[in-house]
């Protein structure tokens, strides 16, 4: 087991990509704190699966865009596990607005998306870095939307900001803590549930590896970066089956 004895915190860890990462870490021997803000039942279910593997799991409710709640979350994790080795900044939100429809984007959309995806990532990383073990790892979940095409303009801009944060924080926290990013392409989660089977088929057909991504595709790279990527920092890795080549 590649993460035996380690403790991880996964924001938005009860659903989709976060859930797959939480379970993959537990399978490799890590104890996992599962953060959620609204999806308590799914977070509870994920924690129970982790416990079923013989690992420790704890549920932490916190809105990652609220610094008081973030600081309380990190204190709770430290109290429960006595250490923190891996933080996955996975929590994220968007709105689905055609890129050409500039008028449909509200100021509230900009504020909410940047508060969670950008400020929240910074707040969680700063608070976690205060208690992290030497050799700790922060994994930021970005998106290929950072290249410009995605669910909405504010979302694309927020994920480009995530990539810059990955570089800046890698410089700031080296050599004690590594900071890396994963930029998924289309991944089949509740996020993309609004897509019908035909849209998924079209996406698979346009992807060189001829399928849509699954949360486990992201989780496998997260495990590698946490366990083995010990000379890697500041970089963001695209996992999209070649779709954006």
Q: Specify the residue for token string 């799914």.
A: 42
Q: Cβ closer to ligand NAP: 129 or 189?
A: 189
- Pick between residue 28 and residue 63 the one whose CB is nearest to ligand NAP: 63
Cβ proximity to ligand NAP, 132 vs 219, nearer residue: 219
How far apart are the C-alpha atoms of 83 and 61, rounded to whole Å? 19
In whole angstroms, the minimum distance from the beta carbon of 151 to ligand NAP comes to 9
CB of 79 to ligand NAP, least distance (A): 20
What is the longest distance spanned by two Cα atoms in the chain?
51
> What's the rounded Cα separation, in Å, for the pair 179 and 173?
8
Compute the least distance from the CB of residue 229 to ligand NAP, in Å.
Answer: 19
Of the two residues 177 and 187, which places its CB atom closer to ligand NAP in the complex? 187
SS3 category, 238: strand
Catalytically active residues, by annotation: 155
- Residue environment code for 132-165, b if the CB has 16+ CB neighbours within 10 A, otherwise e: beeebbbbbbbbbbbeeebbbbbbbbbbbbbbeb
Interface residue list for ligand NAP (CB under 6 A): 11-12, 14-18, 35-39, 63-65, 90-93, 116, 141, 143, 184, 186-187, 189-192
**CB neighbours of residue 44 within 10 Å:** 15
Task: In angstroms, give the least distance from the CB of 241 to ligand NAP.
Answer: 12
Rounded Cα–Cα distance for residues 171 and 141 (Å): 18
216: helix, strand or coil: helix
> Residue 65: which residues within 8 A CB-CB, separation 6 or more?
115, 116, 119, 120, 123
Q: Report the C-alpha gap between 144 and 149 in whole angstroms.
A: 8
């Amino acid at each position: 087991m590649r993460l035996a004895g380690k403790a991880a915190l996964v924001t938005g860890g009860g659903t989709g990509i976060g859930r797959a990462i939480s379970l993959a870490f537990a399978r490799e021997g890590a104890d996992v704190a599962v953060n959620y803000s609204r999806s308590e039942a799914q977070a509870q279910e994920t924690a129970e699966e982790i416990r079923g593997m013989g690992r420790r799991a704890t549920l932490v409710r916190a809105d990652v865009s609220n610094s008081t709640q973030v600081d309380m979350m990190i204190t709770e994790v430290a109290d429960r596990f006595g250490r923190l080795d891996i933080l996955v900044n996975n929590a994220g939100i968007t709105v689905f607005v055609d890129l050409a429809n500039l008028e449909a984007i509200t100021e509230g959309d900009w504020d909410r998306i940047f508060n969670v995806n950008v400020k929240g990532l910074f707040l969680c990383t700063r608070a976690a870095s205060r208690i992290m073990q030497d050799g700790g790892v922060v994994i930021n979940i970005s998106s290929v939307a950072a290249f410009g095409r995605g669910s909405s303009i504010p979302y694309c801009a927020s994920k480009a900001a995530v990539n810059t944060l990955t570089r800046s924080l890698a410089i700031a926290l080296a050599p004690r803590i590594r900071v890396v990013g994963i930029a998924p392409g289309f991944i089949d989660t509740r996020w993309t549930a609004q897509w019908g089977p035909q849209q998924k088929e079209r996406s698979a057909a346009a992807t060189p590896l001829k399928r849509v991504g699954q949360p486990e595709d992201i989780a496998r790279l997260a495990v590698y970066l946490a366990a083995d990527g010990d000379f890697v920092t500041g970089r963001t890795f695209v996992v999209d089956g070649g779709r954006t080549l």
